[in-house]
Amino acid sequence: MTNGMLFLVLLSAHLVGDFYFQSAALAGKKEKEYSRVLLHSLIYAVFVFFVFLVIETPLLVLVAAAAAHWIIDSFKWLLRNQGWSKSMWFVVDQLLHLVSLFVITSLTPAVEIRPWLAGLPEDFWPWLTLILLIVKPVNISIDILFKRYAEAAKRQAEKVVPTQKEPLLAKEELSSAVQEEGGLTAQEVEGAGASVGTFERIFAVIFAALGQYAALGLLMAAKSMARYDRINKSPAFAEYYLIGTLYSILFAIVAYLFVFEVILSGAATVDPLPVLILTPTPLP
């Protein structure tokens, strides 16, 4: 697309302002206090105006991008009591932001990267945008979109009790056993689970860039082996794990294709590498 690089840099600014520099506390207070919407919009505008240092774009374009974000968030605040679910609001909100950036970019005359950044690799900004897109936004969207599955797994974990063949456990030991059986705690979802998902998506886009889509099967198999015991013991966790994994990998592949095939029309694709299969050397 025309001005594809401008769109990617604006999208990077959006991701940083809307996800990486918006705390959970601020996001929660935005639903009740309009002053928090204004504060978030101001923080967002700061990152949008950083785009001026990267691309020779008219200031009016950046004002329009910041204003569009404020208007969308303001309408979202005004309509917050319309009965929509949090997941529905999240999807509609992000789609509107994405469309607004696309329209603004399409109406902007052709622009170029500033000369002082011309020495960076050509695919630096696409890959920066892609990494920003597949890390925190996906972790947050999983928590929002699949919350009911996580809660179901947690409820099932809390029902775990010791069998008659096992000695009675102390309260602290039982709590630990419940956590291990269910495999889903707040610490795991926010910490280890999110980190595993992040590395999973990074490997997925690397495999996609190398044309090794078949390697994604090995990635899923390795992850499933590590969680096999928990998957086997908790059907609810198995469902949450499967949905989360499929969504995570699908998002990574779609994001990669969106950046390089839709926005930049294949600027960074490479020919697929041959797959090497190691087999034992036959005995003489």
Tell me whether residue 50 is in a domain: yes
Domain presence at residue 284: no
Q: Integer distance in angstroms from the first to the last C-alpha of the chain?
A: 59
State yes or no: pLDDT of 20 exceeds 80. Answer: yes
Q: What is the pLDDT of residue 279?
A: 44
Shared domain check, 174 and 67: no
Look up the domain containing 184 and give its range. 137-263
- Kindly report the number of other CB atoms within 10 A of residue 159's CB atom: 11
Decide which of 192 and 108 is more confident: 108
Three-state DSSP state, 270: coil
Q: In terms of domains, do 18 and 100 share one?
A: yes
Distance CA 181, CA 161 (A): 10
Report pLDDT for 274.
52
Residue-wise pLDDT tens digits, 50-68: 999 999 999 999 999 999 9
Is residue 149 located within the same domain as residue 257? Answer: yes
For residue 272, is it within any domain? no
Please indicate, yes or no, whether residues 47 and 162 belong to a single structural domain of this protein.
no
Mean pLDDT of the chain: 83
Count of alpha carbons within 13 angstroms of residue 229, beta-carbon side: 5
Say if residue 144 is in the same domain as residue 258.
yes
How many domains would you assign to the chain? 2
Whole-model pTM over 0.85: no
Is there a domain that residue 105 lies in?
yes
- 85 versus 190: which is more confidently predicted? 85
Do 184 and 112 share a structural domain? no
Residue 78 pLDDT level (bands cut at 50, 70, 90): very high
Task: Say whether both 194 and 252 belong to one domain.
Answer: yes
Whether residue 8 lies inside any domain: the answer is yes
CA distances (Å), origin 170, targets 158, 167, 176, 178? 15, 10, 10, 12
Both 105 and 153 in one domain: the answer is no
Alpha helix segments (H runs only) across the chain: 4-15, 24-30, 34-49, 59-78, 86-106, 124-134, 136-145, 147-158, 171-182, 186-187, 193-209, 215-226, 228-233, 235-257
Express as a percent the part of the chain with pLDDT over 90: 55
What pLDDT digit, counting tens, does each position of 207-259 carry? 999 988 888 888 888 888 877 777 888 888 888 888 999 999 999 999 999 99
Residues 147 and 256 in one domain: yes
- How much is the pLDDT for 215? 87
Q: What is the pLDDT of residues 111-166, one digit of tens each?
A: 999 999 988 998 999 999 999 999 999 999 999 999 988 888 888 777 754 444 44
Do the Cβ atoms of 141 and 90 come closer than 8 Å? yes
> Percent of the chain having pLDDT more than 70?
81
Residue 31's pLDDT is what? 85
